[in-house]
Amino acid sequence: KNVMSHVLEEAHSHGFDFVCDGMNLDDVGVYRPGQEATKELGILSPLYDAGFTKKMIRACSKEIHIPTYNKPVNACLASRFDYDTLLTSEKLNRVDQAEAYLHQKGIRHCRVRCHDDLARIEVESKERVQVLEDQELIPYFKTLGFRFVTLDMEGITSGGYDR
């Protein structure tokens, strides 16, 4: 709510009357704490209102040549933490740096779920071996403040805390 309040302020300062988000039909039934905040702030969800799913959005984006049509999903960093976790810039930055490390290693679709001092890495099954064989990964994650580093054998899932 704090972030979107700033987005609204910025939009209004530039003469915009409305702010829209990317919520779509696939977001219904999945716990998204930010959805309530966007409703309270009056942020619009035109893709949802038009009945679009993620698959439909990608297909339309490809059809009109938007180069990011097949970009991996990139959920808010807050989704890497258990519900009711007090989020700080330090915690968010730690997860961001951990995921950036994986991206630099060529792993595009990943999540680092944060359980206090434990990092739970989610990747696609085809990339598990790469993570397991990376000799620099654990020492690097420990420099970020993680005491334990694990690989989630269920792989990457949307709503990893909703299981």
Query: What's the pLDDT tens digit per position in 34-53?
Result: 788 888 999 999 999 999 99
Q: pLDDT of 115-141, one tens digit each?
A: 999 999 999 999 999 999 999 999 999
Task: Identify which of 121, 109, 126, 124 has the alpha carbon closest to the alpha carbon of residue 146.
Answer: 121
Considering the entire predicted model, what is its pTM? 0.73
Contact present, 157 and 122 (Cβ < 8 Å): yes
Residue 13, CA distances (Å) to 10, 17, 20, 43, 95 in order: 5, 10, 16, 16, 32
Asked whether the predicted pLDDT for residue 113 surpasses 90, the reply is: yes
Q: Tokens representing 71?
A: 């970009």
> 121 by DSSP, 3-state: which?
strand
